[in-house]
Amino acid sequence: MKYPFGTLTLTDGAKRRIGEALASGRLSSGELVRQFEQRYAAVVGTAEAVAVSSGTDAVALALATLYDFGAHRGDEVILPALSFLATANAVLMAGLKPVFVDIRRETLNIDPARIEPAVTGRTRAILPVHLMGKPADMDAIREVARGRGLYVIEDAAEAHGAAYKGTSAGALGDMGAFSLYVAHIITTIEGGVVTTDSEEFAAILRSLRADGRACNCKQCVANIGTEACTKRWEGGTDRRFLFERVGFSARMNELEAAVGLGSLEMYDEIIARRRENLTALIQRVDAMGPYLSTFHEEPHERFGPHALPVLVAEPAPFSRDQLVRYLAEHHIDTRSLFQSMPTQCPGYAFLGYRVGDFPEAEYVGRSGFHVGCHQDIGLDHIDYFAETLRRFLKEHA
């Protein structure tokens, strides 16, 4: 049996919209992108959603809005040491400085107790990551932010469908940044989206994704071909070529939005199927102790069913790498559970951190992996995964 990590649900509605877009000749950002933004905001429960070209750009643009509110180049953002490297990359892309703190092993998320000591006079934001779709401890994070006058921007790349105390991920901070990459729960193949309740943030985001243009309307009437823009010549200058801030080229196109609208049509079905799979996978791993463990859903939260993380215990008589090679030999696709970005990723050596600075993140970086729980697997795949784990443990433990 083959157990793939991810899948792509390409609906008939998506295919129809793609065909209509191709026939119209309108392929850059237009009406389909606006429809996707409206529906995504409704799913998350925010007033606004701004579609962009990737999850990395979503984080970077959300951070870059802070320049309109007093931030300066080189100001600091506090984030967990453990995440997909795109989280830290986005901080640097925005012209800010990443300040890393360690995680809690049992949650995989930022340790709130370590945030306050990391705050300086140049700190502007806290960037919690809902890793593997498990919500970060947002009450504690928001308490620090309120006390120190900081913004909270959620990296919700993997947290579609997640909730914390009844509020959806992406609506818990000032802004939420989602990835819509092909392996994620809701996908536009490539893409990202920023959610917020602030009209001001949303207008700045629309400017930033278009190279910092003054154009920032929710819907561009010229783009959808219905009428001429009445704002074009305000002030005597063509606003399409008036650039108010340093921006990005980070627009979503119509074909991507068509795929995303198809995903949203199946949102409830996709989330429900993935949650069933994730629950079953957690139960299987719980029965594998003492050398393997995973995370657990607490009463106050709901997982975004992105994937199943597995940790190999430090006294185990085998390594993570031995186990994942065995799984690969049996056609079970896995991914590393990321790394301690500042100490285990060579590209970040320039920051000067040393191995040992983030022991919890480093443990997960060398001992963790994850497998898919997507809507195209079923109990037969899950049972095959569990049986393969049992065989490995019998041979190596």
Asked if residue 290 has a cis previous peptide bond (ω within 30° of 0), the answer is yes
Shared domain check, 273 and 307: yes
318, exposed or middle or buried, with CB in 10 Å at 0-12, 13-18, 19+? middle
Stated pTM of the model? 0.95
Give helix 55-64 / helix 199-208 axis angle, nearest 10°.
Answer: 120
Q: Buried b / exposed e across 275-310, counting CB within 10 Å, b at 16+?
A: bbbbbbbbebbeebeebbbbbebeeebbbbbbbbbb
11 three-class SS:
coil
Shared domain check, 237 and 94: yes
Q: Which domain holds residue 366?
A: 267-396
What is the Cα gyration radius of the chain? 22
Q: Write down the residue that tokens 């697997």 correspond to.
A: 377
In a domain, residue 4? The reply is no
Total domains, the chain: 2
Shared domain check, 257 and 197: yes
Shared domain check, 234 and 222: yes
In a domain, residue 108? The reply is yes
Q: How confident is the model at residue 237, as a pLDDT?
A: 77
Q: How confident is the model at residue 230, as a pLDDT?
A: 74
Please enumerate in sequence order all residues whose Cβ is within 8 A of that of 343, keeping only pairs 6 or more positions apart, or say none. Answer: 81, 353, 354, 355, 356, 357, 358, 361, 362
d(CA 370, CA 309): 4
DSSP states of 89-100 as a string? HHHHHTT-EEEE
Q: Are 92 and 350 in contact (CB under 8 A)?
A: no
Shared domain check, 292 and 219: no
Domain CATH for 326: 3.90.1150.10
77 three-class SS:
strand
In a domain, residue 208? The reply is yes
**∠ at Cα 159 (156, 162), nearest 5°?**
120
166 three-class SS:
coil
Could you tell me which of 15, 100, 1, 60 has the C-alpha nearest to residue 247?
60
> What are φ and ψ of residue 259, in 5° steps?
-65, -40
Shared domain check, 231 and 340: no
335, exposed or middle or buried, with CB in 10 Å at 0-12, 13-18, 19+? middle
Please enumerate in sequence order all residues whose Cβ is within 8 A of that of 94, keeping only pairs 6 or more positions apart, or say none. Answer: 59, 60, 61, 63, 64
Q: Is 276 left (phi over 0), alpha (psi -120 to 50) or beta?
A: alpha
- E-strand ranges in 53-150 read 76-80, 82-83, 97-101, 123-126
Final residue before a domain boundary, out of 210, 234, 265: 265
d(CA 63, CA 150): 12
Q: How confident is the model at residue 243, as a pLDDT?
A: 83
Would you tell me how many other CB atoms lie within 10 Å of the CB of residue 354?
Answer: 9
Q: How confident is the model at residue 382, as a pLDDT?
A: 98
Tokens at 393, concatenated: 């443990």
Q: How confident is the model at residue 225, as a pLDDT?
A: 59
Q: Buried b / exposed e across 78-116, counting CB within 10 Å, b at 16+?
A: bbbbbbbebbbbbbebbbbbbbbbbbbbebbbbbbebbe
Shared domain check, 326 and 247: no
- Please report, in tens digits, the pLDDT of each residue of the chain (397 residues total): 999 999 998 999 999 999 999 999 889 888 999 999 999 999 999 999 999 999 999 999 999 999 999 999 999 999 999 999 999 999 999 999 999 999 999 999 999 999 999 999 999 999 999 999 999 999 999 999 999 999 999 999 999 999 999 999 999 999 999 999 998 999 999 999 999 999 999 999 999 999 998 877 777 765 655 667 777 777 777 777 788 999 999 999 999 999 999 999 999 999 999 999 999 999 999 999 899 999 999 999 999 999 999 999 988 999 999 999 999 999 999 999 999 999 999 999 999 999 999 999 999 999 999 999 999 999 999 999 999 999 999 999 8
Would you tell me how many other CB atoms lie within 10 Å of the CB of residue 3?
Answer: 19
In a domain, residue 352? The reply is yes
**∠ at Cα 184 (180, 186), nearest 5°?**
60
Shared domain check, 183 and 53: yes
Shared domain check, 298 and 169: no
Strands 76-80 and 123-126: parallel
Q: How confident is the model at residue 222, as a pLDDT?
A: 59
Shared domain check, 55 and 70: yes
d(CA 35, CA 264): 11
Shared domain check, 305 and 254: no
